[in-house]
């Protein structure tokens, strides 16, 4: 599903934000070349698809005669050199656009890209590129802006001239990734709509329903440019999963394929959901049949968002959920610590991050101030982000002392990093609350002018904030 297995850029930088764990966000990509779009687009697109089918058919024959590949071979060289190689070899280009903090990206890196089946398919047909969207040394931000990348992993399928054939935005399993590539390049069509009709006609064969759920993930990954369609797709498929899960003998679900389906449909769902609790209760059994990095991430993320929700509501039960990391979830937490010692899924991060939100919700402002000062005193602290986050937390205070502190923190955060749109948004709101509307509008206009993607989520937030400020003046 599009909302499961994607990471998006953060929108609201508070001390209680979910960190970089995966709030879905997608964008409209650059499409085919302007020539194809403006001159007989249907004919041009059809001709291109036909040529691609011929190319891929020939490459498939070569692949059949070649030794088995040990996973995807990613190109070592520059972006431009990769496209030159594709042109010379008669291949297409596949780009895995990732970030270092993206959880689903890491899972695909560890569990999908190294598989022989993926290597066999992709190495014969594509020059494969890994692009860190935040690495300026490889022009990651520039290329990301060019293709309108907003969420990760984004899986791009391109022609040697750089024009786009298609994309998917989701963490996928082996067969789903190959199917996505086939659909994006025209080698195969999606069977999703036929499966949906078969399901609606009453077919509930378990093997078919699981295949339908898997196909829906690919279909959802391709809805990258239509948020409403993504939401509708998820609303359509979640009850299908719930019925499938409820109807099965639970012991038969402890296998790698069913765990992948559970992980896709229940990723980041809070504790209490039957499928989530089933995986937690049977963690050892699932870890024996599925990649433990994926099982650990699944259960820890569920607990993370449960802790977050309780803390944000001012419910001290969040402390009990934190204790789960030293109890029933200990094995998962220890595995995650060995894998990633600074993971935000670990207890020490959550204690620090969520406590501030809890203190703000319960009006314990003096304690919150002490906590902020402690974070600022730590070596290497991101002072700009801490100030901005703290300002957001203190904006709910009624006492003048803390409202003034919120303004002070907002100003400090912005002045330390005026390029951060979140800092600009927070500082502009602080100025507005102080009646400094002209200064607030100037901050927002400057921030919007620096955003390269005007359709991004943060651009929309800033634009709405600016429009609301201008309304009184217009009246």
CB distance 469 to 444 below 8 Å: yes
Instruction: Specify the pLDDT at position 322.
Output: 97
Question: In this model, does residue 64 exceed pLDDT 70?
Answer: no
Question: Would you say residue 371 lies in a domain?
Answer: no
pLDDT tens across 70-98, in order? 899 999 999 999 999 999 999 999 999 99
pLDDT at 68: 42
What 3-state DSSP class applies to 151?
A: strand
What per-residue confidence (pLDDT) applies to 24? 30
328-356 mean pLDDT: 94
Would you say residue 394 has pLDDT above 80?
yes
pLDDT at 196 over 50: yes
Could you tell me if 182 and 68 lie in one domain? yes
pLDDT tens-digit readout, 111-142: 999 999 999 999 999 999 999 999 999 999 99
Both tokens of 446, joined, read: 């400057």
Question: Are residue 161 and residue 42 in the same domain, yes or no?
Answer: yes
Tell me which of 290 and 458 has the higher pLDDT: 290
What mean pLDDT is predicted for residues 197-201? Answer: 98
Does residue 389 share a domain with residue 324? no
What's the pTM value of the predicted model, to 2 decimals? 0.79
Residue 60 lies in a domain: yes
The share of the chain scoring above pLDDT 90, in percent, equals 77
Query: 333, 362, 391 — which closes off a domain?
Result: 362
Task: Please tell me which residue, 28 or 55, carries the higher pLDDT value.
Answer: 55
15 and 161 in a single domain? The answer is yes
Counting the structural domains of the chain, the total is 3
Question: Which pLDDT band, with edges at 50, 70 and 90, does 6 fall under?
Answer: low
State yes or no: pLDDT of 424 exceeds 90.
yes
Question: Do 409 and 452 fall within a single domain?
Answer: yes
For the segment 31-60, the average pLDDT, to the nearest whole number, is 35
CA–CA separation, 113 and 214 (whole Å): 18
421 Cβ neighbours under 8 A, 6+ residues apart:
447, 450, 451, 458, 459, 462
**Higher pLDDT residue, 50 or 196?**
196
Residue-level pLDDT at 5: 65
Contact 392, 413 (CB under 8 A): no
> Which CATH number covers residue 461?
1.25.40.10
Q: Do both 138 and 29 map to the same domain?
A: yes
CB 319 within 8 A of CB 310: no
Q: Does residue 220 sit within a domain? A: no
| pLDDT score for 7 | 65
The answer to the question of residue 51 being in a domain is yes
Long-range CB contacts (within 8 A, 24+) of 252-255? 253/278, 254/282, 254/285, 254/286, 254/289, 255/289, 255/290
Considering 330, 362, 394, which residue would you say is the last residue of a domain?
A: 362
pLDDT at 22 (0 to 100): 33
Does residue 209 sit within a domain? no
Please tell me the predicted confidence (pLDDT) of residue 8.
56
Q: Are residues 349 and 293 in the same domain?
A: yes
* Residue 406 sits in the same domain as residue 347: no
Which domain does 170 fall in, by range? 7-188
**pLDDT for res 226:** 84
Per-residue pLDDT, 59: 43
Helix %, strand %, coil % of the chain (to 5): 65, 5, 30
Backbone CA torsion sign across 297, 300, 302, 307 = negative
Domain end residue (candidates: 154, 188, 222) = 188
Q: How confident is the model at residue 458 (pLDDT cuts 50, 70, 90)?
A: confident
92 & 154 share domain? yes
Contact between 142 and 78 (Cβ < 8 Å): no
Q: Are residues 258 and 140 in the same domain?
A: no
As a whole number of angstroms, the distance between CA 177 and CA 113 comes to 9
Any idea what DSSP says for residue 223?
A: -
Query: Quick one: 273 and 327 in the same domain?
Result: yes
Per-residue model confidence (pLDDT) at position 44: 35
pLDDT bracket for residue 224 (50, 70, 90): confident
Provide CB contacts within 8 A for 48, sequence distance 6+: 32, 36, 159
Residue 203 in any domain: the answer is: no
Whether 370 is covered by a domain: the verdict is: no
CA–CA gap between residue 238 and residue 64 (Å, rounded): 38
The yes-or-no verdict on residue 69 having pLDDT over 60 is: no
| pLDDT at 56 > cutoff 80 | no
pLDDT tens-place string over residues 269-305:
999 999 999 999 999 999 999 999 999 999 999 999 9
What pLDDT does 459 receive? Answer: 86
Assigned domain for 356 exists: yes
Q: Are residues 268 and 346 in the same domain?
A: yes
């Amino acid at each position: 599903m599009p909302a499961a297995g994607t990471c998006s850029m953060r929108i609201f930088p508070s001390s209680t934000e979910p960190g970089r764990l995966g709030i879905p966000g997608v964008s409209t990509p650059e499409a085919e070349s302007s020539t194809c779009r403006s001159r007989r687009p249907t004919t041009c697109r059809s001709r291109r698809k036909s040529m691609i089918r011929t190319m891929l058919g020939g490459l498939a024959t070569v692949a059949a005669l070649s030794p088995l590949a040990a996973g995807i071979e990613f190109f070592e060289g520059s972006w431009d050199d990769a496209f030159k190689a594709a042109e010379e070899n008669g291949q297409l280009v596949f780009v895995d656009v990732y970030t270092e903090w993206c959880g689903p990206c890491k899972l695909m890196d560890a569990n999908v890209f190294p598989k022989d089946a993926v290597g066999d398919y992709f190495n014969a047909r594509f020059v494969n590129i890994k692009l860190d969207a935040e690495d300026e040394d490889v022009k990651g931000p520039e290329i990301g802006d060019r293709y309108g990348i907003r969420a990760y992993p984004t899986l791009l399928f391109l022609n040697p001239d750089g024009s786009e054939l298609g994309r998917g935005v989701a963490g996928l399993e082996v067969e789903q990734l190959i199917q996505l590539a086939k659909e994006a390049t025209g080698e195969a069509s999606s069977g999703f709509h036929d499966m949906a009709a078969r399901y609606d006609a009453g077919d509930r064969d378990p093997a078919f329903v699981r295949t339908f759920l898997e196909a829906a993930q690919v279909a959802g990954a391709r809805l990258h440019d239509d948020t409403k369609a993504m939401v509708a797709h998820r609303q359509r498929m979640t009850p299908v999963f719930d019925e499938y899960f409820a109807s099965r003998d639970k012991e038969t679900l402890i296998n790698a394929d069913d765990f992948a389906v559970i992980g896709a449909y229940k990723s980041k769902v809070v504790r209490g959901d039957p499928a989530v609790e089933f995986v937690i209760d049977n963690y050892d059994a699932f870890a024996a049949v599925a990649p433990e990095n994926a099982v650990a991430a699944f259960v820890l993320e569920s607990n993370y968002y449960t802790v977050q929700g309780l803390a944000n509501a001012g419910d001290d039960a969040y402390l009990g959920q934190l204790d789960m990391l030293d109890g029933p979830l200990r094995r998962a937490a220890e595995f995650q610590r060995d894998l990633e010692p600074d993971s935000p899924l670990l207890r020490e991060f959550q204690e620090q991050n969520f406590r501030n939100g809890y203190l703000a919700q319960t009006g314990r402002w003096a304690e919150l101030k002490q906590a902020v000062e402690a974070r600022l005193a730590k070596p290497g602290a991101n002072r700009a982000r801490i100030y901005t986050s703290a300002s957001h937390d203190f904006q709910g205070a009624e006492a003048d002392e803390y409202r003034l502190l919120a303004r002070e923190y907002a100003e400090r955060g912005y002045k330390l990093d005026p390029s951060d749109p979140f800092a600009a948004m927070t500082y502009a709101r602080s100025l507005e609350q102080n009646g400094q509307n002209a200064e607030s509008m100037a901050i927002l206009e400057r921030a919007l002018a620096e955003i390269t993607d005007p359709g991004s989520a943060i651009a929309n937030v800033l634009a709405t904030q600016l429009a609301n400020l201008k309304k009184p003046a217009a009246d």
